[in-house]
Structure 1
Amino acid sequence: MTDLNRRGLLAASAAGAAFGALPVARARAQAANTIRIGVLNDMSGLYRDVNGPGSVVCARQAVVDSGVTARGINVEIVAGDHQNRPDVGVNIARQWIDRDGVDVILDVPTSSVALAINTVVREKNKVFLNSSAATSDLTGAQCSPNTVHWTYDTYMLAKSTGGAMVRAGGDTWFFITADYAFGHALERDTANFVRAAGGRVLGQVRTPFPGTTDFSSFLVQAQASRAKVIGMANAGGDTINTIKQAAEFGITRRGVKLAALLMFISDVHALGLQTAQGLVCTETFYWDLNDRTRAFTSRVVPNMPQGLRPGMAQAGCYSAVLHYLKTVADMGAAQAKADGAATVARMKAMPTEDDAFGAGTIRADGRRLTPAYLFEVKAPNESRGAWDYYKLLQTTPGEEAFRPIAEGGCALVRS
């Protein structure tokens, strides 16, 4: 358990102790008006910069911006490190819900962990606001009335980045794939778009997850296939290491393109523009996209770890919590706490609106629709200053970016 997790749980315990000193009626009223949000992510591993403490910062900013405390609604945030392991994530989630009265579980990168949490939250009738797991199965075969999938998914990433690479002539592919649910889904969805466009998949290799740092043998296999595009169906530290080692091997100098199917601005920062320049990626948020994204960023940057700018997963935590709290204010905290599925249904009925993503909607399958932006990483001489990393290539409206609702196989969708 991380120090952040311990501090969060101690805070919750202290609050519980304080309740005991209050008159019973007052204590019950205060508990009924207290919403507890658990930020569950990777606080110490390869996704720390993508999620980690930055997601907690963004969730706290949403509480401030929501104004719910002025309306008598208390909000407490706790944090936990699932270590990218489903068993650890499930244990934390059950403890939070059963012992600590957590009403919402937020963030949850690593698709295998998110799919497990999806089941727990539905069983307990709480709310799951997923910002960081990419598997499109969360709004497909494993959709839930208690879950909203907020920021991105494998279908959208495959269609935007993969589709762009094929249109640019990359009609033969080799995949380097993280060997768990996320990597499999991203490879599957991208391969479908490649084949639909008349391209071919020449091969793939599955890399152990977590813990792989040496991608040299996988890159040698990819190069030997003579594919025009090496698709990286991985994320975070794995993506960074794959790109760095590909550069060391001089792979791109031989005309092979790298497709960063899921890349975050923190990854670009870690790589540096000299190495990352020319890479194409898809995000739904960029801190310097417009005046509103810059305003949001200015509010959270003072509290972000190591001076990082918020990435789309962290911005998704802000947006999801803000909309949830607007819903709680609309329906009342006691009712929201009592019935997670009813709260999610009310969230779907209300349009979303915030500085990070602008206007949006939530579909019946739990998919939050937001535009997808295809970016190219700038060359060093194109950057105007710190964190000026992207130039916009194209924008796909949310209604077109994500999988059509009828194709997902979600049982919540009426045929």
Structure 2
Amino acid sequence: MDKEQPQALAETRPMMPADGFSPELPALLAKRSGGISLGVRLLLFMLKGLRIGALEVHLPNGEVRHFRGQERLELHGVLHIRSGALIRQVLRNGEVGFGEAYMDGHWDSPDLTALLTVLYLNEPYFTGPYEKNPVSRFLGWLKHKSRANTKKQALKNIQYHYDLGNSFYRLWLDDTMAYSSAVFRSPNETLMQAQLNKFANMFERLDLKPEHTLLEIGSGWGGFAIYAAQRSGCRVHSITLSKEQLEEAQRRAQAAGVGDRVSFELRDYRDVQDQYDRVVSIEMYEAVGEEYWPTYFRAIQRALKPGGRAAIQGITIHPEIFDAYRRKMDFIQKYIFPGGMLATPGVFIDAANCAGLTAQQPEFFARDYADTLAVWHRNVLAVRDTILQQFDARFLRMWRYYLSYCECGFRVERVNLMQVTLTKP
């Protein structure tokens, strides 16, 4: 397979069924007196450019407007506008503002992913100033750059996301506690089985033997380290920047009976001194930041013994949108993974090659990640009352938007999931 993703952005894979698990929206259906505000009129004008799929827009006064494209009408999004403040946030902050307006309750949808998919595919055709505020984009870019992953800032960035509390993640992840894409080999597999499939893929790429030593960069909650030690008998040293993950991973390794072969440490990947037969890193490079990609791959190269190999799973971005993506801060970078950055497959592989590593057998799993995110979203909604005992409603809406936003990205293959093997001569 070519190291760049071959699929066209507009060629989405089949959508999962509409999310009947979403909460009802009775508050949005009551008619309000009055006409349509100027802001809402502007939004409707922007939507007239829709060409792909269909869009149903419910206005604050109870009116419903329908927009139909010329192709792919099976794609159908529903937007309930609660407040004209939506358009002000879109004009101010573009794509990020749209997500913020959802967090603030200015709009809603019975199927977030379906709506975001229709909006994304039509973004080139919408009329008006959407995503055109240069001042806002520049300020967002500056804020993103201020979170660059120096050793000190990397610790803050990781803890910002992963130290929300183990109990929070335990609510909606499966028993492996894997917070990365699963690999579904059949339609009826559970999320846990699909996560074990992912572990098996990475294990096979590493070709682990009992006598091997394995370095894991990015522990998560210890799922793969435990799996590797149990299946091969090898020794694993796993590093993380999250104190919450460190404590939970240590507990889980002891409970699994591999505490004597698996060790976890709070350490930056740049500070690794020893060499290992194998290195694994599952969805960690995304947190490194573009300016540190060369450092990341050099760290892997240094950590490998001659003849060693590494297995990497990471999210990549489509080459056609990479340059535009680099010039702004998106919703994920602002609210979910500060300091994060995605490479194209080609940029990723070139960076590995420049560090003295040879990339082999890249494989892509966009649909698997989309399906993983859909299951996570279902799980989150199933425990939303419990989540609201720990966090406020704005946090829950932010998390829902994050999961749907990412699912949409994988459905349309704006982003993809790559597994690749790196070898050291």
TM-score (norm 2): 0.35
- Greater C-alpha Rg: 2
